[in-house]
């Protein structure tokens, strides 16, 4: 269960526990203000068309993707400076906060149901909070992951890995290696989770008969 320690800043009900990046009795947001200005309640309003865009679209309910009209990173995701920390973050994360509230933990990611996050989509209707593993599973299903078969050097498919894990329960690593044309040591790494460890069993693939 997530530990909770209420922020000591006036009127704030956020979690100031260190597991949520809280410090000195302040939540992450008010600690950053305190660190920057010496006053946890003091803000420095800076005009930002990008933040205005997020505010204007946080209640968007259309089915079509909204494409970020400002800075786009090399990975195709929209970028914007966080209003409190001024660190560069994704537009999808900020609008997910605005539309759906704070993430369950700092490790949760803003995941897309549309598969178009790498094309700049920041529609709040297409976003939800997900663990890193779940987010990667979504990317695999959408075909946008840069792991596995999307790497040019990969000789095995996701389907192969799940089949190898199944075979490894009752077959020798040498025999499995011959079937898939790889070394026994590679099979050992797959079995131990040192290779393809990110691929979870709930990533459903059409296995060969």
Residue 80: per-residue pLDDT? 93
Average pLDDT (29-34) is 88
- Which tens digit of pLDDT belongs to each residue from 166-205? 888 888 989 988 888 888 888 888 888 777 766 665 444 4
CA distance 187 to 184: 5
Dihedral pair phi/psi, residue 195, rounded to 5°: -120, 135
Share of the chain above pLDDT 70, in %: 83
Greatest extent of the chain over all pairs of C-alpha atoms, in Å: 66
Q: 144 or 136, which is more confident?
A: 136
Question: pLDDT higher for 71 or 201?
Answer: 71
Say what the pLDDT of residue 122 is: 96
Going by pLDDT thresholds of 50, 70 and 90, the confidence category of residue 206 is: very low
92 vs 87 pLDDT, higher one: 92
Radius of gyration of the chain (CA): 22
Residue 64 confidence class, pLDDT cut points 50, 70, 90: very high
* Tokens found for residue 170: 């009752």
Q: Which of 58-67, 79-88, 108-117, 186-195 has the highest mean pLDDT?
A: 58-67
Would you state the pLDDT for residue 153? 46
Percent of the chain with pLDDT over 90: 30
Higher-pLDDT residue of 133 and 151 is 133
| Residue 21 scores a pLDDT above 60 | yes
Place of tokens 């929209």: 78
d(CA 115, CA 139): 7
Helices marked H in 146-200: 158-167, 173-180, 184-192
Is the pTM higher than 0.75? The answer reads: no
> Is the pLDDT assigned to residue 82 strictly greater than 80?
yes
E strand or H helix that includes residue 172: none
Distant-in-sequence, close-in-space partners of 174: CB < 8 Å, separation ≥ 6: 184
């Amino acid at each position: 269960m997530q530990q909770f320690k209420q922020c000591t800043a006036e009127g704030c009900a956020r979690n100031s526990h260190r597991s949520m990046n809280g410090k000195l009795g302040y939540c992450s947001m008010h600690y950053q203000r305190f660190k920057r200005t010496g006053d946890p309640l003091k803000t420095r309003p800076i005009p930002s068309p990008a933040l205005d865009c997020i505010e204007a679209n946080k209640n968007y309910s259309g089915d079509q993707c909204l494409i970020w009209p400002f800075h786009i990173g090399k990975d195709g995701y929209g970028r914007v400076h966080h209003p409190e920390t001024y660190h560069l973050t994704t537009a999808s994360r900020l609008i997910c906060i605005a539309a759906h509230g704070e993430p369950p933990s700092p490790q949760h990611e803003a995941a897309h149901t549309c598969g178009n996050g790498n094309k700049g989509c920041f529609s709040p209707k297409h976003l939800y909070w997900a663990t890193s593993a779940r987010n990667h599973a979504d990317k695999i299903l959408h075909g946008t992951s840069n792991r596995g078969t999307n790497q040019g050097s990969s000789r095995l498919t996701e389907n192969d890995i799940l089949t190898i894990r199944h075979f490894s329960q009752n077959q020798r690593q040498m025999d499995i290696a011959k079937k898939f044309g790889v070394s026994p040591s590679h099979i050992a790494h797959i079995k131990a989770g040192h290779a393809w460890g990110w691929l979870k069993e709930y990533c459903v693939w059409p296995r060969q008969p």
